[in-house]
Structure 1
Amino acid sequence: MRLKCIKLAGFKSFVDPTTVNLPGNLCAVVGPNGCGKSNIIDAVRWVMGEISAKHLRGESMADVIFSGSGTRKPVAQATIELIFDNSAGTLGGEYAAYAEISVKRRVSRDGQSAYFLNGSRCRRRDVTDVFLGTGLGPRSYAIIEQGMISGLIESRPEDLRVYIEEAAGISKYKERRKDTETRIRHTRENLERLTDIRDEMGRQLDRLERQAAAAEKYRVLKAEERQLNAQHLALNWRDYDADARGREAVIAEQATALEALIAERHGAEAALERLRADHAGANEVLNDAQQQFYAIGAEVSAVEQKIQHGKEQIRRLRADLEQVERNLVESRQHLENDTLRNTAWSAELAEVTPAREAAQRQSAAAAAELQEDERLLHDVQQRWEVAQRESADAQRRMDQTQARIQHLDSATTRTADRLRRLRAELAEVNAALPSADLEVLGRQLAEQERANAVQQEERVQISSAIAATRAQQVEIATTLNAERKQLQELQGRRAGLVTLLDAARAKGEGAGAWLKARGLEKLPRLADGLDVEPGWELAVETVLGTDLQALCAGAIEPLRGEFASFARGHLSLVEAGAVQAAAPAGKLPRLVDKLRDARPLAEPLLVNIYAADDFESGWAQRAGLHAGESIISRDGIWFGANWLRLIRGDDLAGGVLIRKRELAAVEQQILAADARIAVAAEQHSAAETALRDLEVRRGATEQQLARTQREYADLRAKQSAEQARSKQLDERNQRVLRELGEAEALLAKEVAEVGDARRDLQGLLDQMQAANSAVDAIAAERNRRREAVAAVRSAAQHQRDALHQLDLRERSLTAQLGSVREGLERIRAQVDRLTERRDGLALELAGSEDPAALLQQQLQDKLAARLAAETTLATARAAVERLDAALRTEEARRVTAERQVQAQRERLEQLRLAGREVRIRADGIAEQLQSQGFTVAALLADLPDAAAAPNWQEQLDALDRRIQRLGPINLAAVDEFRQQSERKVYLDAQDAELRDALETLESAIRKIDRETRARFRETFDRINSSLQELFPKLFGGGQAGLELTGDDLLDTGVTIMAQPPGKRNATIHLLSGGEKALTAIALVFSIFQLNPAPFCMLDEVDAPLDDINAERYANLVREMSEKVQFIYITHNKISMEIAGQLLGVTMHEPGVSRLVAVDVDEAVRLAEAG
């Protein structure tokens, strides 16, 4: 796998979309300081998952977005995409089948960052997981930035170990181990919680099992009650349905009468449509006459316009002829002027041409003299550069020696400081003691364990109380729902009764307008004030009939003169008054005595009517009745001496008194139901409050238990920390003593090396002074040559300027002559065209004649035709007006028919209202049964033909008593017992699975540790061996190696020891900057030889190297590029020479980086081919 290209957009200084193609294995990025070269490496590190803005040379992640320049605005987001060539299948798993792998990251200024793999959005972890074990990552050894070389060598042993782990490919093992440890911790926590839950659930199951048995019996009885109740409702539905069908027959007769009236209305509408058709024909004739009249008017206007147009045409021709004459005079004047300019410019061109040729010869001679003087100056410049390089080389060696002295002085100071720190640390370690007594911590742990047990017991008790309260709440809710259902049924019954009573009252409202006009509309109805003994309602309603809706007036006499104006409707008035009644027939009481209230009003209507408890006893008194006397039985049979009246059915006025009594009873039942619902709701609310209080107590107990457990865990952690601290103090004491001896030996060696370096510096200073003297002498000669070249160059420039001026004048004259000659030809052609135009206009004007006489005759003819059309139009308009009058007459007849239809429709609607009330009751029962899962047809099919609603009501009452004897029932116990039993089985299985999983995870940890130790040991040995081979290649000798700081291969640190040729330094810190750089390069390349990453990015790692070491470094890079792709940033010419491709970064526009790529290998091939 190799890096194919890098795509940047809006990232740091690369504001424009830029593609960095990397076709070869040696790509060098070059350019001046500050042009943005290192931004390419920052881009790669960023897209690989870097989240620290500090490592990207910024303060926040928004700093990677282009923030604008002097000429450009900031952009909103930055995007980087890496394209990898995976044709070799280096990446396995799901990406092995892809020949190219795309990794992209995008960030916006609001801080939102997104990652993409092959175009699919993913997490940052998905990107890092893809490259685990490959050596790639945001901070891996494959990307070495400025300053990281020295940081790599001087890093702590723990940090250096990370690079070895990445090379060994065990970084993914560490991630897996970390995930496994987290899972183990979570598994143990879950196991503890699961054990508590299982114990509590066992106790709950014992109680629920007893409650479930009682609840099951209750459910069986309730199902039986539900079936009986449905059958009872079906019987009621059967009775209502039969009544409704009888009413539908009456409604059908009235509907037939309505259809006859509608047919009469349709006849009137048909006649109206015929008149409308005649009216439309007359309108068409009128429209045609109008159209003809308007058309003739338009022709008159057209003739008038033609007369005016002819006159305008003659005026236009005369104006055009005058304009052509003026243009012809102007064109002839332009022709004369251009001829004079052509003559003058031709003469001037003949003088300029020879002068230009002479100036050209003089300029060529001056250029030859300047070339010879510049060659002499170049020779002197080369000698000056050689002397300058020798002087710079001497200066560089002196600077290196001074830097070495400064480094040694700094190292001496650091070593002395280190000695002081180590002595202070040793004193601190000796004085340090554990901060807490382990025995005291043990006692505190025991107390926390006891408190934990008490709180868990309290939580169990509260949970039991919650379950009991919840069961009680369910029972109360069941009772409350039953009461609410009964209340809804009573309210439905009340609404039906109110509807029937309103319909009965509405029958007598035909006189509403007449009553309202006289202020009588608010008089009470007779039925509203009657109070009849129970059982006699039907008898009173039979006698009074429609008089139940009579208005109770104080006196009728004042209204006597108003009755003549009563045109339509039904009106009944009653007034209070005493009526002389005959003696009762036999022992029968009067019907008026059955009234408890409103007797003075109803008595005139019930005079001489007697009441019998049954028909037989009344019939026995029939022979003794006088004229005007009658008897009515309790069941509504009314008869006199020679007549009998029996009314059955449900007339609109019938049943008013019975329904009033039933409505009053329903109102009382509703009030009682409201009271019971209020009590049940209050009990339900109290249960909810108690349940909430228990939940709050349980929450507080669980919080206290969690705090106790946290405190227990803190004490355990503190105890472990104190034990570990005691052990660490011992180990630290031994380490400090060892480092103290090493630091004292190192300080003595550094002091000796400082003296040697100061003596070398004096000799280099003498060499530097001699080199500077040679540079000054050659510089004086170079200045003299420069002055001479400047004088000759000035003269040559003067000759070139003179030649340029003459050349420009010659070209200008040539262009002007060409332009004026073209103008002459164009003006001559224009004069010819204008002459022809003038002659044509003169002929056209001469041929025109005045058309006014002919057009005047046409105008008179059109005016006569318009007068005739106007007469025709007046006749058509009169016909339309006659038809309008006939339409209004027929419309009045249609309105009368419509009113008759409306009156019959109102009567029919009243009948339908009564039938609908009965049907609503039946449908209400059917819907109620359907909502309960029953159908009326199925229920009636299962019932015997002799079944009656009262018998089923008795069975319901008996079953209800059996249910009441069961006492309080927890209806949720059966389902809860089943659910809790299933959950108990599930939790038992979960407990076993968690214990198996815990054992599996612990085994995985042990396996990961074994594999990690083995791979780390093997990788460490191989890198160490490779380092021992590469170090002498880069230094021309010497030795280097890696050492482990501990015995445990899981966490031991790694240090590097390096000794260049001729040196016996005890630590890596004693090396110079260049030596440290070479040592770090040797280590990085040793890692690459073991586990080559797909590419290696180096940022000016050759900066501190001299030419000899830079050449060694370059040779090693070229050798390793056969297996590894290198992208490196450099200012060193030696490093540039080995590159196959040069990528130049420029900043021609301030603040904006651009890329200029050169394929060196291709350029060499082209040069050889040429």
Structure 2
Amino acid sequence: MFLALKSLQISGFKSFADSITVHFDQGITGIVGPNGSGKSNLTEALRWVMGEQSAKSLRGGKMEDIIFAGSDSRPPLNRAEVILKFDNHDRQLNIDRDEVEIRRRLFRGGESECLLNNQKVRLKDIVDLFLDSGLGKNSFSIISQGNVEKIFNSKPVDRRFIIEEPAGVASFKIKKQQAQQQLQQTDDNLQRVSDIVHELSHQVEPLKRQASIAHDYQEQKQKYDRLEQLILADEIHTLNQQEKKWQTQKQEAKHQLNQISQQVSQSDEKISKLQKLNQELTSEIDTKQTELTNLSRQLEVLNGQQALAKERSGFNETNHATLVSQQAQLQQKLLEVKETLQHQQQQKQDLEQQVQELKQAITNIQADFNLDPQQINQKIADLQADYLEMLQQQTSLHNQQNYLHNQLKQLQQQQEEYHQQQLLLEQQQQELEHQIKQLEQDQQQAQLQYQQQQKIDQQAQHQRQQAQQELQKVQQKYNQSLQIWQQHQAEYHSLNKIVQQHQGFYQGVRAILNQKQALSGIIGVIAELITVPEKYQIAIQNAVGAQLQSIVTENETDARDAINFLRKNRAGRATFLPQTVIKSHKIANSSIQDLRQDSYFMGIASDLITYQPKLANIMENIFGSLLVVTDIDAAIKASNLTAHRFRIVTLKGDIISPGGAMTGGQSKNNIDLLSQRTKVSKLEQWLQQAQSQLQEQQQNIKQRQEQEKKLTEQIKQTHEQSRLLESKIQYLQNNLQLKQQAYKSNQQQLTAREFQIKQVQKQIQDLQDQTQTNKNSNQLISEKIEQQQQQVAQNKALLTDFDAQKQVFESRLHTYKTQLALAENNLQNQQQQQQDSQAQLSQLQKQIKQVEAKLLQLSQDKQGLSLSTQDMQQKISENQTAIANLKTSLKAIQQQRNQINEQMQKLQQQATRLFDLQKNWTDQQEDIAINLTNVTNQIKQKLTILEQEYHLSFEAAYQRISTDWQLTAAQEQAKLLKKGIQELGEVNLSSIKEYDQVKDRYEFLTKQQNDLLQARQQLQNTMKEMDQEVAQRFEKTFNQIAATFEVIFPKMFGGGHAQLVLDDPSNMLETGIEIVAQPPGKKLQRLSLLSGGERALTAITLLFSILKVRPVAFCVLDEVEASLDDANVERFANYLNKYDDQTQFIVITHRKGTMMHVNRLYGVSMQESGISSIITVKLEQQKDEA
């Protein structure tokens, strides 16, 4: 048993809104139905579930168009699903299952999924499943009329799929494409590796030399470091002795300052009490002044209100007089309106009486002229009957004369008709001449408009091109800006990560900062607690050094807990600064007064940085004894001016220590600890600004895209205008030709009419001669007719008298009706006037009521104003009394405050003397503190060097000093070692590690390069082998199909000859295929010259040839025989029966000859509008029953 198609289930696919299932048996399955019922949708569903990816191939604009779009009675669906089942007992499909089910779904949102035996797979897996099976998407197993045309209209090379699919080379082509991609990737990788190997080959030797120097440097540096440790320990011991001496002097100065401070405190306390009393008196004076001001303002307000009340009272008197006068006028007018209403009522009654009288008169006239119309009509009918009888007598008398007269009249009419036709033709000729001239003008005008439209189109094209170029420039600029923004963003994230992870700090410091939330009292590290302007960062970094990594804590307990944490976790060491212990050490302003006058002096370091006020003691302890100047010359000058007492640093980082020691040169110190946060902040600001600029650029791009869109629409409109003008020009041209042809035809007819007129004139002359002969005979008949006419005239006169009498009565009746209409109109006007007067009366009554209400309100306001004026006068008197009392109280308080100010002045003079004495002792204390700070700083610096650089405590280092230790000799030896290190020059310590890494990488990449070369050669060999296999299979299959095609063609056509020809037999991989056919009785010719039926039959023949060589599981034929005649349809159906034992055929057809050979028939119909449904008929059962 071979691979067989079992069923096709469709749901929501195109017109199949409901789920339907089509079952397939062996043999031929036919599908029929009227046009538009959805038959071809079955074929497309089959192609789609087997992997079709082109919406255009499925007659859609986009893939979502295959989902049922709704109908008049049903809404759209959101999903399309097709399920295809195969019988796979022979395992022709590479799946170890007896039944294979392929399911494909598509949702309206664009999501899709494919399932193979209910397991989700890729669409590619479905396509690969049918490779080399003859059922692929490019196979000949699914054919429609469109496919037939595609075969015949395509290029020879595009027809290769006809042979490739049966030859089973599709998988080889895909593998070759994959191999080509792998080869391209291998070449790219090989190129990259070769470039890297080439680059590394130039790095190995230089790094080897640098690594050798680095090893020498490390040996000498180790010796130097051992000596430096001992020297530092000895110097620290000496500095400790000096520190004790300065501590004793510091305590003495502190005792003197305490005594003076007590006296200053007592004086300050007295001054404070007097100041407090003075403030209380001042506050009381301010309060009294405020009260006095408020009372004065209230008095002014009351006086103003009093004046306003008087003014308002006068205004009310005036308004009252005006309203009284207005009330009298309205009363007078009310009387006049009432009199008018009485007069109008009388006129209305008179008009109503007049109307009644006119109506009675009209009734009387109509009664007087009450005639019977039937009698009048009977008299008229009798007269007309007599007149007709006379006419009949006249006709009988003129029979003979009429014969000749009629003949003459006919000829005259014919002559007149010819004349009329001649005039009409001449008029038509004139109109045609005018129309031709107008059409020529219209054509010229249209041509001119078309040329103008072409210019407009060219201008619009040029504008759009410019807009596109500008848009491209803007987009390029945006892309460049975006790239720069992304680079800065990456730099920002990198720096921010460094800052957040505290990179650059010592191990112990980093461990504490990472556990800051878990440890109590950790405020932060100095480097992160200060903000240093960029200008001073190098100076601060070099001067303070490792102190930037000191950690500030709330107290000693917090520092102790942090140290225990480091020791417990072996996380390194750190220096801690408890806020409760560290005191401020800042240079006194008097000590550097001379320096402040010079421009080179930047200031004390603690004043140049910013920090939280609560950290002032700690910051002044570290930075308060450090002076910052511009350069080394300024530092020397400042050191001399301050007697070498202070530590001074330049902007470039050169340092002069107390005592005059100078440190400087090019330093490799990294200022990242201070600059990193500044850089992060600047980058963040820059990114925000750049983001705004990018948004503006995006908006600019959007605007330009809109402009381009508008220009494109304008071009579309101009194209449409040009097309309309072209159509108009063509229409005018065609109409002009028609008018010219009509003009020519009319000219020919005009010539014919002139000849006919001459013939008729001759015939008229002959008849006139005959008429003269009969004239005498007709004279007697004419006299009798005249007598009859006189009798008719008399009867008409009688009828005229009757009409005149009737007109008199009608005129009188019309006069009365006109008077009646006039009287009724006057009556209606009088009623309207009466209504207007009544409305006026109501309005006047309303106005009188309003005036009376206003008079009542004015009377009430007058009484209220009288009472308010009395109250205001009383308040003014009370206010004046309160102002006088306040002024007296205010004067007494001011005298008391003057006495207190005199006492405060004396105490302040005494305090000034104490401050001067205190300042002298403070200056001495500052000098002592500076010396002590210098010694302490030196000790700290040297301890820091021991701890941070050598990881030694002072005690451990001092214990290493031997009994025969000589500091001077050790310093000389250290100088020699340092000189030797300096002579090595610039040493790259990382070169040792870099050399090992580069060497290892160079060896690894060299091996990888060789591996890539071998892989490249293997891929090329594999592709060559695949090409050979494809060529062999293609040639073999082509020869088999071509031979079979030549045999089947004459059987299908009943004679003739056909061939499949290769256009390049030497190149089996790229050769095209020509199809040459010679139907019976015709010459050998190419497909394009065949009729539609011949081409369809040729394609069917080719299909049977392929099935003969390479049978496939099933074949779908969608109306391929539609253009065949009945005899060819019969041949086609017979051939289907020959192959139906090895191939299932699904045939969509309209032809009865095909239907007669199918085993099962499905009918597709639309019983519901827009919804396809399936009806099944098993024809074998029908035949058996028949």
TM-score class, shorter = 0.3 to 0.5
TM-score under structure 1 length normalisation: 0.40
TM-score under structure 2 length normalisation: 0.39
